[in-house]
Amino acid sequence: MKWLLWILLLLNVLMLAYFNLSQTPAVVHSQGTDLHPEKIILLTQKEMDDMPKQGDMGVEIKPSMPITEAPPVVYSCYEWGSFSPANLPRARNVLTKFSLEATMKQVTSIESVRYWIYVPPLKSPEAAQAKLEELTGLGVQESFIVKEPQWRNAISLGVFKDEQLAAKLLEDLKARGVRSAVKGVRNNEKSQASLLINHVSPEMASEINKLKPDFAGSELKPVSCQ
């Protein structure tokens, strides 16, 4: 009977092994798509150019900001004057502050003489300011208080090389009600001189022009560079 039990036990082991082998899981294939080299097509340059661009596919392409370069500074040459021997050193000091060099040019009295329309010096800066405001109320725009020591607190209304133009301005001012305006002659002293200035930027020229109250009768005019 023992041999029968051993036979049955062996049969059970064989049956168990058979069922376990039959339930071995199948190999799981990758879900990825297999590559097929024979199906790869190389595009020509023309075909690549004809392909839709990123902008054609609804994607907004923001243009790059253009790089703007500052325009170069244009320098010019000017003649500033004319000045009496007393005022010439003051004018030179102004140019030194701007780091500008100038060449002195002697000017004849015929060239330098100017006809000046002005209100004579008033007693105080306050009186001059009040008079300036009065002139503005009468429609006079081209006027300023003179700071030049000899003519301090006078009010300049215009400087002309042509005497007839000066006379016409005086007539117009009288018609506006400016009774205190008079005509005078400036820069008629001997030894008048002007300053030739090179390498002047527009900003520097503007600053020099603001100094008219300190040098009444002077003008800054562009000239050819030498």
Distance (Å, whole) CA 191 – CA 216: 17
Q: Where are the domains of the chain?
A: 73-112+189-226, 114-186
Please answer whether residues 188 and 111 qualify as being in contact, where contact means their C-beta atoms are separated by less than 8 angstroms: no
Return the number of other C-beta atoms located less than 10 Å from residue 66's C-beta: 6
CA distances from 18 to 8, 9, 22, 25 (A): 15, 14, 6, 14
- What average pLDDT score do residues 76-90 get? 90
The mean pLDDT of 49-54, rounded to a whole number, is 66
Each residue of 144-153: pLDDT tens digit?
999 888 889 9
Q: Check: pTM over 0.85? Answer yes or no.
A: no
DSSP secondary structure of 180-221: S-EEEEES-SSSEEEEEEEEE-HHHHHHHHTTGGGSTT-EEE
Answer yes or no: same fold for 73-112+189-226 and 114-186: yes
The structural architecture, per CATH, of the domain 73-112+189-226 is 2-Layer Sandwich (3.30)
Residue 142 and residue 176 in contact, taking contact as beta carbons nearer than 8 Å:
no
* Fold adopted by 114-186: Alpha-Beta Plaits (3.30.70)
Instruction: Decide: helix, strand or coil at residue 27.
Output: coil
> What are 140's two structure tokens?
């006079």
Higher local confidence (pLDDT), 92 or 112: 92
- Which of these ranges, 35-49, 63-77, 155-169, 211-225, has the smallest mean pLDDT? 35-49
